[in-house]
Structure 1
Amino acid sequence: MSTFHGRCGGQPLRTALVLAGGLGTRLRPVVSDRPKPLAQVGGEPFLGRLLRRLKAQGLERVVLCVGHLWERIADYVGDGAPWGLDVVLSVERTPLGTAGALKNAERHVEGPFFVLNGDTFLDVSLAAMARFHEENGWLATMAVTRVEDAGRFGLVEKDFRGRLLSFNEKKGIPGAPGWVNGGVYLFERRVLGLIPAGRPVSLEQEVFPGLIERGEAVGCFAAPGYFIDIGTPESFFKSQKEREYLP
């Protein structure tokens, strides 16, 4: 595993925001008593696995963007000491969407920062992703991975340099392969200033399409490692069978 170098553009890069506030509607038939990031995979909450991975990659601080049943997450994580992390919670009193959650956590962010979905895992080197981001001068970088069935995911189109050309949230052709959003991002702090406050905002449906339309430099970092999304009963059961690939 690559050791994370901890800086980007000369600024400290040690913080990750984890999107853990979703309602988990699709997963509710099999996980109804807890927020989705606390779903047990191999006898351990999925969120615990993500936190251990972030620590192993050299990050120091995690902001959990929480909402639905957030008290359960607070009880489990505490201040992050079991993982050797500094963990704080950013609580949404009403659902704000994936980008609105980041805006709500703006006060906790000082420089460039990673973002991870709390219900997906992508085996990606954050150090390599940060180098790609810095060397190309991207404002935002999305980790992308290639899957055999892109129908459930955000389908991306990129050029030979890795620049994001288009992003179509969950509009892939069922059964067709393609590059998809891996649920890991690296943003310059300026992106937060482009997100409207006080209303739900979607990264996938508003922010990334808006950045492309504005001509902003948005990169796609190809990550061919293991990828799983536990957001549906089918993928959740798959994660139980493939847990040896998880951190």
Structure 2
Amino acid sequence: MNKLVLQDNTNIQDAISLLDKNGKGALAVVDLDNQLIGLITDGDIRKAFLNNNFNLNSIINNNPHKMSISSSKSQIVAQLKKIHRRHMPLVNNNNEFEKLYSLDEEEFNLKSNWVVIMAGGLGKRLKELTKDTPKPMLKIGKKPILEHIVEQFISFGFTKFILCVNYKSELIKNHFKNGEEFGVEIVYIEEKTKLGTGGALSLLNMQIKDPFFIINGDILTNINFNDLLNYHNKNNSDATMCIKKDLFQIPYGVVEKSSDNIFLNLVEKPQYTIFFNAGVYILNPETISFIPHNVYFDLPNLFQILNKNQKKCITYEIEDYWIDIGKKEDYLKANEFISSL
């Protein structure tokens, strides 16, 4: 019921009947060979009646936006939001109609916030896996880590990306290009030398007006980025660092003693709760001025500098799925997680 087969005797009543039955507000229009030739919406029908025009061929949009059936949901959603449309016909390589995707439950507003992804790492701990491939381009399932990160942000309406690249950057650039294929905007910062997890921000040559995200290019997480941004704004924060809770167990009996060496107590293999830096941040644009220009600089150091300058720095605990793909066992775990979905 998502398509109208256009024949010599097909009329506007046929279109209205199918639109009424499918309830999606749109129909793909195909020929007898199932070739996509157009799109018709309930809005097109209303306009036709207002103009007293009942010629079906003149009502059909013969040049609709369309995408490949192999496109991911996040890519389709991002493109629909970008062109401010609700419906996207999906076709195969032969232009045969496969499916009509409808953006009924999604918000249309695109976020203005930029997302900076630190994708210049060597991945030395992954050894042979990163010999010919930059770590962010290692595949988790069928897609590179970096593509998973981009799609996660897209799903929350963030479509403006800055990729900071260094090691084998051409592989990243060739995959993502300017982002158009993913329905997003992508610009690149090329690090001529290694600049750590924050130094590349000093090379920004564009004006950023809103709080922006920074995420390491080897992080996979299911965090709700809208919730994180709202938390940052609600707390009037200058810089927000995401943290993750972990339990650390000391494998020995811990002895408590006085300053004059009197035995007080012994706790066998105690557990302590710690919080570690999760490699996801939000910064206000003015914090960039505290980053030294074009030198190696790790982003956690910025929080210490901001604290000394009486800027408000807060933390946000991640309780969702999170993994840092730093070692081979992490890479294998991430693949297991993706394959279980």
TM-score of the two chains, using structure 2 as the length reference: 0.58
Following the alignment from structure 2 to structure 1, what is the Cα–Cα distance between the partners of residues 273 and 175? 37
Larger gyration radius, structure 1 or structure 2? 2
User: CA-to-partner distance for each residue in 1:22-48, whole Å, 9 max, x for gaps?
Assistant: 121111233321100001111211111
Q: Determine which of 192, 200, 214 is the counterpart of 2:296.
A: 200
Instruction: Identify the residue that residue 218 of structure 1 maps to in structure 2.
Output: 313
Following the alignment from structure 1 to structure 2, what is the Cα–Cα distance between the partners of residues 238 and 15? 29
Q: Kindly indicate whether residue 167 of structure 2 is the aligned counterpart of residue 71 of structure 1.
A: no
Please report how far the alpha carbon of residue 122 of structure 1 lies from its aligned counterpart in structure 2 after TM superposition: 2.4
Q: CA RMSD in A?
A: 2.5
Q: Determine which of 206, 212, 215 is the counterpart of 1:107.
A: 206
User: CA-to-partner distance for each residue in 1:221-240, whole Å, 9 max, x for gaps?
Assistant: 12200011111112111111
Following the alignment from structure 1 to structure 2, what is the Cα–Cα distance between the partners of residues 70 and 244? 28
Q: 1:82 to 1:44 in 2, by over 3 A?
A: same
The amino acid that maps onto 1:44 is K
User: CA-to-partner distance for each residue in 1:178-231, whole Å, 9 max, x for gaps?
Assistant: 222222111100110111113111112x21222223332111112200011111
Q: 1:245 to 1:225 in 2, by over 3 A?
A: farther
Preserved CA contact (<8 Å) 1:18 1:65: yes
Instruction: Identify the residue that residue 27 of structure 1 maps to in structure 2.
Output: 126
Unaligned segments of structure 2, at least 5 residues: 1-105, 251-270
Query: Structure with the greater relative contact order (CA < 8 A, sep ≥ 6): 1 or 2?
Result: 1
Q: Kindly indicate whether residue 304 of structure 2 is the aligned counterpart of residue 209 of structure 1.
A: yes
User: CA-to-partner distance for each residue in 1:1-34, whole Å, 9 max, x for gaps?
Assistant: xx89979xxxx74210000011211112333211
Following the alignment from structure 1 to structure 2, what is the Cα–Cα distance between the partners of residues 36 and 93? 18
Matches within 5 A, 1:1-247: 13-107=112-206, 109-148=208-247, 177-204=273-300, 206-244=301-339
Following the alignment from structure 1 to structure 2, what is the Cα–Cα distance between the partners of residues 139 and 21? 25
Question: Percent identical across equivalent pairs?
Answer: 27
Instruction: Identify the residue that residue 60 of structure 2 maps to in structure 1.
Output: none
Q: 1:149 to 1:238 in 2, by over 3 A?
A: farther
Q: How many residues align?
A: 216
Following the alignment from structure 2 to structure 1, what is the Cα–Cα distance between the partners of residues 109 and 144? 27
